[in-house]
Amino acid sequence: MAKFLLSLVRIFRPLLNGRGIDFNSMMVIVETKLLMDQRRVYMNWRQGKTKENTNHLRVALLFYGFMGIVMGSMIYFVDNFLTIMIFTHAYILFMMAMILITDFSSVLLDTTDNQVILPRPVSSKTLFLARLVHILLYLLQFTFAIAAGSWLFTFLKYGFITGLALIFTTMLTVLLAIFVTYFLYLAILHFSNEQRIREIITYFQIFMMVFFTLGLQVFPRLLNVIDITQAIDLKGYMFVFPPVWMALTVDAFRLFQFDMVHIVMMVLSILVPVAGFWILFQFLAPGFASRLSALQGTANVVKRKEDRDDKIERGSLSERISAVACSTAVEKGSFAFTWKITGRDRNFRMQFYPGLAYILVFFFIFVLRGNKSIAENWQQLPETNNYLWLIYLSMLSVSSSLTLVAFNESYGASWIYHSTPVQQPGEIILGTIKSLFIKFFIPIYLILFTIAVSIWGWHVADDFLLGFFNNLFCFLVLASLTDHYLPFSRQPDTKQQAGRFVVILVQFILVGGLVGLHYLLISRSLLFYVIIPVLILGIVLLLKKLRTLSWSKISI
Amino acid sequence: MSVITIDRLCKVYDGNYVLKYISLSFEAGQIIGYIGPNGAGKSTTIKILTGIIGDFEGNVHVLGMDVRKDSIAIKQKIGYIPENAALYDVLTPVEYLNFIGRLYGMELESIKKKSTELLHLFDLGTKMDQRMSGFSKGMRQKVLLISGLMHNPEIIFLDEPLSGLDANAVILVKEILSQLKKAGKTIFYSSHIMDVVEKLSDRIVIINKGEVIADGTFESLQQQASSGSLENIFTALTGNQEHESTAGAFISIIND
């Protein structure tokens, strides 16, 4: 597809050549960039094996294509044209902006361009145009994947002209998405620095993954609640939203009705993206690259320093906690180290936080399960014992951090464990485990506890107390069952060990068994105080076992 | 005729002058060693000379052309091998060189021929079609060297070209540089490795805090500083003679 689009660009050769633009160089750059796109690993597809020759782009496109067909089929089933069109355009706008911000940001913000291409005889206009054409081609591929389903069903149901109009407004929507994203970046760049942008993008990416996970699980259930077939009542403020303009533009062509409202909307839907794009091309973009390269490195040094001095004085949070939670120096070091890196490493956050979304997903599935509507389920909630799920859900998500913590981009730095006189690597592992438990499990557990108390009342407190020890016990059992890797010592994307499945199985049996036990005892809460000491004994033994792990037990 | 003339060059970053009224001119067919401590302004000078930074005060001409106006024409005739080896490492060396070569307007045929042969010379023949993400720093540096020299430039700007190369490759690159010089090319060379600069350069320019503090042949610098190696000259001139006391303090802190 990229090749086909590239040959389409050649048609514009007479238009683009000259005036400081070297068409051939531009095509060479675009071609190379498209090739690199296929090799980039897309953030949504990180997990699993990455073979060198996989065309990651194709996998991503197929996924979006599939979603597009599902979304498009709604055009067929929903009869209110305006509503479904607004929905479709909003979906396209949202998806494109998200793709631009998340997957494509690495390309937009890539300063390798400056180092590789700027020393070559390529004018900045050529480079800019190459970037632009590349972005357009890239987005065209995604536009097609996302919107082809909608186009297809519109052609089928509403005929040729409406279909064409939709294709046209889709393109305008994409232009708008580009403009909005670029503008967003420029604004952030203006007030802040590159580092900050990368941070912000990380959060967008996390949001995106949460959105997908949640969307796929929860969306079908919500459909019963919101009645999408109802006509949207177009109120004044709604005319601010571009999807409404686009929808009305398509509507005008469907009905062949060109009254005042339709024409104004049509003008807006064409004028705003085109004007935005013109402003972008004329004023904003040329400064973008230079601003970005100027920002590299220098800007953010000063502020950080004050920050650091302050921290050293009172000791960072992790260090203060480690003083209480850990006994030996090695353990304390490992505790603070894990705490800090898990907070700063982008890849860790990217893989860990979306997993937390499963708490929400399971909340919907388990807590609100039943045949009645969500609202009815919600009302009956206090009469059920479903808070048990809340107690043990946090476990499932947090346990993923145990495996994730072994991976890091700079895994090579782990030579430090081997060059220092560490007698019992178990202390390092224990420090890490404690760090993960305190940093991730306890806050989540407290939040869930608060939620549970507000729904069920204080009588769940002793359940949460038992749950706490149960969870800690499970967490430690898992920690001793998995292969023991030192924190941040493994190369990302290396294959998971074969034993992984067994661990998951044990995890489910263990958690299931403990939840079952808890469930059986739920009305005899006095017995909890018999079990808790047993659990504490188990916890102490497990802690001891982990601490005394020897080098022979450490996987490398 | 001088191939590079720098006339009262100044560069300001965030209100600080990183280059202060630098005036220099260089003849063709020389190897110029450009040295200075970290942050002295070496890379900035090179980036201005190669037309990458266009925002500066003063006048700079390369091959008789103004770097502000004719940066594209200049870039066509020079080669630049930067320090922090940034390249598109999802590509294979052959793909990368094809890309860069075509940006120089070279024909695909000639790029293919040259790049394969050069890669073989650099012992990368077996890695030609592997992606560079797994390459070591030295291997990347070799690819960068080829990408900066393939189009047969008149002037070659090198920023720490030997970093990461193994001993054999260092000898090879040094030999390549002296043969390029014999062919009449000008080499502008910035490095920290003093003994290489000492042996290779026809002329040595030392800058410190944005100013030229020494300029001449190795012998003339030796007289100026009345001391032996370039390393000693360098410390004498850059005014950093506290090494001994700093080292002493270092030891005493460790002993605490």
More confident residue, A191 or A134: A134
The answer on pLDDT for A530 being more than 70 is yes
Contact by Cβ (8 Å): A431, A331: yes
Least confident span in A149-163, B193-207, B236-250: B236-250
**Residue of chain B whose Cα is closest to the Cα of A40:** B90
The answer on pLDDT for B14 being more than 60 is yes
The mean pLDDT value for B196-214 works out to 86
pLDDT for A287 equals 60
Give the 3-state secondary structure of A44-76: HHCCCCCCCCCCHHHHHHHHHHHHHHHHHHHHH
Residues of B in contact with A118 (CB under 8 A): 52
Q: Which residue among B13, B84, B103 places its CB closest to the CB of A117?
A: B103
What is the tens place of the pLDDT at every residue in B96-125?
898 888 888 888 889 999 999 999 988 888
Could you tell me the pLDDT band of residue A43, with boundaries at 50, 70 and 90?
very low
Q: Which residue among A40, A111, A116 places its CB closest to the CB of B87?
A: A116
Task: Give the integer Cα–Cα distance in Å for A109 and A113.
Answer: 9
- Asked if B72's CB is within 8 angstroms of A122's CB, the reply is yes
The answer on pLDDT for A541 being more than 90 is yes
Least confident span in A361-365, B159-163, B170-174, B177-181: A361-365
Task: Give the integer Cα–Cα distance in Å for A337 and A492.
Answer: 19
Contact by Cβ (8 Å): A410, A491: no
The C-alpha of A17 sits at a distance from chain B's nearest C-alpha, in angstroms, of 15
Residue A8 structure tokens = 């389409």
pLDDT for B225 equals 66
How many residues in total does chain B contain? 256
The answer on pLDDT for A540 being more than 90 is yes
CA dihedral sign, ordered A481, A487, A492, A494: negative
Task: Give the integer Cα–Cα distance in Å for B175 and A332.
Answer: 53
3-state SS, residue B144: helix
Mutation target among A118, A193, A303, A493 for the B interface, most CBs of B within 10 A: A118
Measured between CB atoms, does B73 come within 8 Å of chain A?
yes
The C-alpha of A25 sits at a distance from chain B's nearest C-alpha, in angstroms, of 5
The mean pLDDT value for B137-150 works out to 87
- Asked if A29's CB is within 8 angstroms of B14's CB, the reply is no
What is the tens place of the pLDDT at every residue in B15-41?
788 888 999 999 888 899 998 887 788
The answer on pLDDT for A46 being more than 50 is no
Residue A181 structure tokens = 């994203």
Q: A-contacting residues of B 85-104, CB under 8 Å?
A: 86-88, 90-91, 95, 99-100, 102-104
The mean pLDDT value for A153-166 works out to 89
pLDDT for B229 equals 73
What is the tens place of the pLDDT at every residue in A64-100?
888 888 888 888 887 778 888 888 888 888 888 878 7
More confident residue, B242 or A342: A342
Could you tell me the pLDDT band of residue A367, with boundaries at 50, 70 and 90?
low
Residue A399 structure tokens = 């346990």
Could you tell me the pLDDT band of residue A299, with boundaries at 50, 70 and 90?
very low
The answer on pLDDT for B52 being more than 60 is yes
Task: Give the DSSP letter of residue B49.
Answer: H
Contact by Cβ (8 Å): A362, A423: no
pLDDT for B60 equals 92
Query: Of the candidates A200, A192, A202, which has an alpha carbon nearest to the alpha carbon of residue A295?
Result: A192
The mean of the pLDDT values for chain A is 77
Measured between CB atoms, does A29 come within 8 Å of chain B?
yes
The answer on pLDDT for A32 being more than 60 is yes
Out of A237-246, A473-482, B192-201, give the one with best mean pLDDT. Answer: A473-482
- Bridge partners of B159, per DSSP, are B190
The mean of the pLDDT values for chain B is 85
The mean pLDDT value for B71-95 works out to 84
pLDDT for A551 equals 84
The C-alpha of A504 sits at a distance from chain B's nearest C-alpha, in angstroms, of 33
Contact by Cβ (8 Å): B146, B119: yes
Element of type H or E holding A157 = helix A124-158
- Asked if A119's CB is within 8 angstroms of B88's CB, the reply is no
The C-alpha of B222 sits at a distance from chain A's nearest C-alpha, in angstroms, of 35
Residues of B in contact with A122 (CB under 8 A): 72, 75, 103
Mutation target among B67, B99, B149, B151 for the A interface, most CBs of A within 10 A: B99
Least confident span in A51-55, A353-357, A508-512: A51-55
- According to DSSP, the β-strands at A554-555 and B2-13 are unpaired
Could you tell me the pLDDT band of residue A159, with boundaries at 50, 70 and 90?
confident
More confident residue, A190 or B158: B158
pLDDT for A304 equals 44
CA dihedral sign, ordered A517, A523, A528, A531: negative
pLDDT for A219 equals 57
Could you tell me the pLDDT band of residue A47, with boundaries at 50, 70 and 90?
very low
Could you tell me the pLDDT band of residue A301, with boundaries at 50, 70 and 90?
very low
The mean pLDDT value for A20-29 works out to 85
Measured between CB atoms, does A18 come within 8 Å of chain B?
no
Out of A21-25, A201-205, B224-228, give the one with best mean pLDDT. Answer: A21-25
Residues of A in contact with B88 (CB under 8 A): 32, 36, 112, 116
CA distances from residue A163 to A355, B32, B201 in whole angstroms, order as listed: 39, 66, 70
More confident residue, A434 or B256: A434
pLDDT for A312 equals 52
More confident residue, A51 or A348: A348
Out of A255-264, A508-517, A537-546, give the one with best mean pLDDT. Answer: A537-546
| Residue given tokens 């006509």 in the structure block | A231
Query: Of the candidates B105, B112, B22, B8, which has an alpha carbon nearest to the alpha carbon of residue B58?
Result: B8
Could you tell me the pLDDT band of residue A450, with boundaries at 50, 70 and 90?
very high
What is the tens place of the pLDDT at every residue in B211-230?
888 888 888 877 776 666 77
Residue A519 structure tokens = 């469930």
- Asked if B91's CB is within 8 angstroms of A121's CB, the reply is no
Residues of A in contact with B86 (CB under 8 A): 111-112, 115-116
Residues of A in contact with B103 (CB under 8 A): 25, 28-29, 117, 120-122
pLDDT for A446 equals 92
Could you tell me the pLDDT band of residue A8, with boundaries at 50, 70 and 90?
confident
- Asked if A119's CB is within 8 angstroms of B52's CB, the reply is yes
The mean pLDDT value for A404-432 works out to 83
The answer on pLDDT for B136 being more than 60 is yes
The C-alpha of A321 sits at a distance from chain B's nearest C-alpha, in angstroms, of 28
The answer on pLDDT for A377 being more than 80 is no
- Bridge partners of A21, per DSSP, are A18
- Asked if A28's CB is within 8 angstroms of B88's CB, the reply is no
The answer on pLDDT for A300 being more than 50 is no
Task: Give the DSSP letter of residue A441.
Answer: I
Task: Give the integer Cα–Cα distance in Å for A221 and A216.
Answer: 10
What is the tens place of the pLDDT at every residue in A480-502?
887 788 888 887 766 555 556 66
For chain B, the maximum distance between any two Cα atoms, rounded to a whole number of angstroms, is 66
Could you tell me the pLDDT band of residue A48, with boundaries at 50, 70 and 90?
very low
**Residue of chain A whose Cα is closest to the Cα of B132:** A52
Q: What percent of chain A has pLDDT over 70?
A: 77
pLDDT for A130 equals 86
Phi, psi of B16 (to 5 degrees): -105, 140
More confident residue, A46 or A513: A513
Measured between CB atoms, does B80 come within 8 Å of chain A?
yes
The C-alpha of B218 sits at a distance from chain A's nearest C-alpha, in angstroms, of 30
User: How many interchain CB pairs under 8 A, A with B?
Assistant: 62
